[in-house]
Chain A
Amino acid sequence: MSTLILLLATGLGLGGLYFLVASGLSLIYGLMGVLNFAHGSFLTLGAFVGLAAGNLVGAGTWGGLLLGLVVGALTGAAAATATELGLIRPLYDRHIEQVLVTVGLSLATVALFEGIWGPNPRNVTRPGWLASTTDVLGARVPNTAFLNVLAGAVVLGGIVAFLRYTRYGLIIRAGVENRAMVTALGIDVRRAFTLVFAVGGAAAGLGGVLATQSLNYVSPHMGASLLIFAFIVTVIGGMGSLTGAAVASVVVAVLQQLANFYLNNTGDLIVVLLLALVLLVRPSGLLGRPA
């Protein structure tokens, strides 16, 4: 029983991380039709820069972590905005080229990060509470899981509120449905593109700093490995559906944890099987609109 609770709790925590990456991917794809391969690099950069900022205040202190999270999110947002303005916008509506550019960017930036910070993972210092566990009905749940769930929920709530209550949110929701008609109402939808990139980049940067706390290390490759699961989450949830991404994040992560424990460490493979199954039954994903 306590094992199951532990697996569910860590699964939820991991799901929170997945969602932080997948939410941006999903928003960007939904509005612009762009698969952003460089999203993992926003995460990695956010993690490194965020941690460095936190270390200025004090490694392993709450103040440092808080500053790190803010700086990580800002870094992710800045990197994403620069990417959109510099590389994506000049290729307006040429989706294949846009994907290719993000592929090139991800290859180049990961190499650059390796050059700057070295290819190997580095340990991080966490606040004491985050390094320990809390007893939940007999299960010793790592405290990072709570932090991740909280962050995922806050970001989900924040994005939903932004989409529902702001004019840009309205433009984004309309644009996901029918972009041409939004421009035909006299709205410059490209500003919404930049904004979506910035929001997605911020979530990824935040996710980067959080991931270092769960993994207890930071590495130039952490973005790439999270990105692959975020891709799977986005396809299973339905490309462009935010709620779909949220649901699929939790399902995928929990399933992964369960399989890793009960089925001989096969979590990664089970997730791919789930993907195949969803595609066979519902090619548009759980909550995606049928093509």
Chain B
Amino acid sequence: MNRTRTLLGALGTLVLLACLPLLALPVPGVLPGYTYEPGSLQLLALCWLTAALALSYHLLFGLAGLMSFGHALYFAAGTYGLAIVLDRTDVPLLPAAALVLVGGIALAFVVGAVSLRVTGISFAMVTLAFAQAGNVLVRRDQGDLTGGEEGLALATAGVPDALVGVVNTRNLYWLALAVLVLVYLVVLWIERSRAGHMAAAVRENEVRVRIIGGRPYLTKLVVFVLAASLATVVGMAYLLLQSGASPATSTADFTLTLLVMVVLGGVGSRWGAVVGAVLYTVLDQRLAELAHSDAVAGLPAVLRIPLSEPMFLLGTCFILVVIFLPGGLAGAAERLAARRRPVPEGAAA
């Protein structure tokens, strides 16, 4: 009964989100204009893709307890991989995407196999080092492949016309929403699978898993590769949405922002990851606008400087959440719901 209601609610929300490009709703303070306008759709699509990426990170950090500082590598593998294949060959979009996905999986397998030889903090540092190597490669522009600091624009020859140009933003919006739904379902499926249960057990107590005959290393590697492949998929969609690949998405800071989103939303919660990512993306956009507003420009330096740096505000927010709001937004929502729930019979006055 309850489950069908949740399911219906989710479907309803999804239908509403899918219809947004056909509606003319204003969402003041969040969207730059009516929902059907390309500017709004672009921001919303960015939200969905970021949420999908955060979900893939949730798989690593929330499910398996693997704190990777190098998840951006696989996202960048998606954006740059697809951009390069489309730029350098005549392969059409879908086969090209399949090719890049295979490449992303192979990369994740190799890096994961090495990094997972260490655990905890060392693992975080090692994944960071590998991602940094990727970042160096991208920025160095060896053989004119990646476009260096400029990034690489999307070569549209192999891309269907329906996915190119501002007039088709609504198609890209639907694509982004589809990617989010797909990633959500895959993550759900993994969490409910045997491998998912095993990964959760490894997170709680690796020694116990080994004693009962499980193989923690293999379990973690599977989750690592799955999360990385999802990131690669999201990266490819991101390339289409942004019509280009930028080196900023391969930096350590980019991974750290994923970590921030997941923790803001609540570690271990799928919805938390989605909400955290959407909130972060919208805040990032809004705060950047605030930074350039006249109201801020007129303030004295002690207020103007912090207020004109979105990352400073977001970072500070993040620290406060970690210290004062354990469990993030999802945790807070749960506590609130528990307080609202009807008082047990015995306690009623």
By a beta-carbon cutoff of 8 Å, the part of chain A in contact with chain B is 29, 33, 35, 87, 90-91, 95-97, 99-101, 103-112, 114-116, 224, 228, 231-232, 234-235, 239, 265, 268-269, 271-272, 275-276, 279-280, 283, 291
Whether A111 contacts B315 in the complex (CB less than 8 A), given A33-B121, A268-B133, A275-B129, comes out as yes
Smallest CB-CB A-B distances: 9 pairs: A108-B315, A111-B311, A107-B315, A111-B312, A104-B319, A115-B305, A104-B318, A111-B309, A272-B133
B261 within 8 A of A: no
Contact A112 B129 (CB under 8 A): no
Complex interface: chain B residues within 8 A of A100 (CB)? 259, 263, 318, 322
Bound together, the chains give a CA A110 to CA B252 distance in angstroms of: 13
Would A228 and B260 be within 8 Å (CB), given that A105-B315, A111-B309, A279-B118 are in contact?
A: no
Q: Known interface pairs A103-B259, A235-B122, A279-B117. Does A115 touch B323 (Cβ–Cβ under 8 Å)?
A: no
Q: CB-CB < 8 A to B253: which residues of A?
A: 107, 224
Extra inter-chain contacts (10) besides given A103-B256, A108-B313, A279-B115, CB under 8 Å: A87-B319, A91-B322, A96-B67, A99-B124, A107-B260, A108-B314, A108-B319, A116-B305, A271-B129, A279-B126
Contacts of B130 in A (CB 8 A): 272, 276
- Asked if B137 CB lies within 8 Å of chain A CBs, one says yes
Contacts A103-B259, A269-B133, A279-B117; A90 near B323 (Cβ below 8 A): yes
Q: Is the CB of A110 within 8 A of B311?
A: yes
B residues less than 8 Å from A96 (CB atoms)? 67
| A/B pair count, beta carbons within 8 Å | 121
CB within 8 A of A115: which of B122, B312, B316, B326?
Answer: B312
Candidate in A35, A105, A111, A291 with the most chain B CB atoms within 10 angstroms: A111
Complex CA distance for A95 and B253, rounded to whole angstroms? 20
* Bound CA–CA A241/B122 (angstroms): 13
| Structural contact, A268 and B136, CB atoms closer than 8 A | yes
Bound-state Cα–Cα, A108 to B316, Å: 6
Contact A239 B121 (CB under 8 A): yes
Partner of B322 from the list A97, A107, A272, A276 (CB cut-off 8 Å) is: A97
A240 to chain B, nearest CB (A): 10
Which residue, B136, B259, B263, B322, has most C-beta atoms of chain A within 10 A? Answer: B322
Chain A residues lying within 8 Å of B326, measured Cβ to Cβ, are 97
> How far, in angstroms, from A228 to B253 measured CA to CA in the complex?
12
Q: How far is the CB of A182 from chain B (nearest CB, A)?
A: 21
| Bound CA span A16–B130, Å | 23
Contact B129 A228 (CB under 8 A): yes
Q: Provide the bound-state CA to CA distance between A91 and B311, in Å.
A: 23
Within 8 Å CB of A265, what residues of B? 140
B118 touching A107, Cβ below 8 Å? no
- Give the secondary structure class of A's interface: helix
Return chain B residues, CB-CB under 8 Å to A111: 309-312, 315
With a cutoff of 8 Å between Cβ atoms, the chain B residues found around residue A115 in the complex are 305-306, 308-309, 312
29 contacts between A and B (CB under 8 A): A87-B323, A97-B323, A99-B121, A101-B323, A104-B319, A106-B256, A106-B315, A107-B253, A107-B260, A108-B313, A109-B315, A112-B309, A112-B312, A116-B305, A224-B252, A232-B125, A232-B129, A235-B122, A235-B125, A235-B129, A239-B121, A268-B132, A271-B129, A279-B114, A279-B115, A279-B117, A280-B117, A283-B118, A283-B122
Contacts known (A111-B310, A279-B126); A104 close to B121, Cβ less than 8 A: no
Residue of chain A at shortest CB distance from B111: A276
Of chain A, the residue at the smallest CB distance from B140 is: A265
Interface flag for B221 (CB, 8 Å):
no
Q: Give Cα A107 to B316, complex, Å.
A: 9
Contacts of A114 in B (CB 8 A): 309
Chain B positions within 8 Å of A283 at CB level: 117-118, 122
- CB within 8 Å for A235 and B118 given contacts A112-B306, A275-B129: yes
Partner of B314, one of A29, A107, A231, A275: A107
Whether the Cβ atoms of A231 and B129 lie closer than 8 Å is: yes
How far apart are the CA atoms of A91 and B316 in the complex, in Å? 16
State whether the Cβ of B330 lies closer than 8 Å to any Cβ in chain A.
no
**Which residue of chain A lies nearest to B118 when distances are taken between CB atoms in the complex?**
A283
In whole angstroms, how far apart are the Cα atoms of A269 and B124 in the complex? 18
B124-149 vs A: 1/0 string, CB under 8 Å?
11101110110011001000000000
Of B119, B129, B140, B316, most A-chain CB atoms within 10 Å: B129
Question: Given A108-B312, A111-B309, A275-B129, does the pair A269, B136 have CB atoms closer than 8 Å?
Answer: yes
* Smallest CB separation, B224 vs chain A (Å): 15
Known contacts A100-B322, A235-B122; A107 and B117 CB within 8 A of each other: no
Evaluate contact between B316 and A275: CB separation under 8 angstroms: no
Instruction: State how many angstroms separate the Cβ of B198 from the closest Cβ of chain A.
Output: 21
| Interface core residue of B140, B314, B316 (most chain A CB under 10 Å) | B316
Q: Once the chains bind, are A91 and B323 in contact (CB under 8 Å)?
A: yes
The answer for the CA separation of A141 and B293 in the assembled complex, in Å, is 50
Give chain B residues whose Cβ lies under 8 Å from the Cβ of A234: 125
Most chain A CB within 10 A, of B120, B122, B305, is at B122
In the bound complex, what is the Cα–Cα distance between A116 and B318 (angstroms)? 21
Contacts of B323 in A (CB 8 A): 87, 90-91, 97, 101
CB distance from A94 to the nearest CB of B (A): 9
Of B114, B124, B137, B318, the residue contacting A107 (CB under 8 A) is B318
For B124, list chain A residues within 8 Å (CB): 35, 99
Distance A90 CA – B119 CA, assembled complex (angstroms): 25
Residues of B143-189 whose CB lies within 8 A of A: none
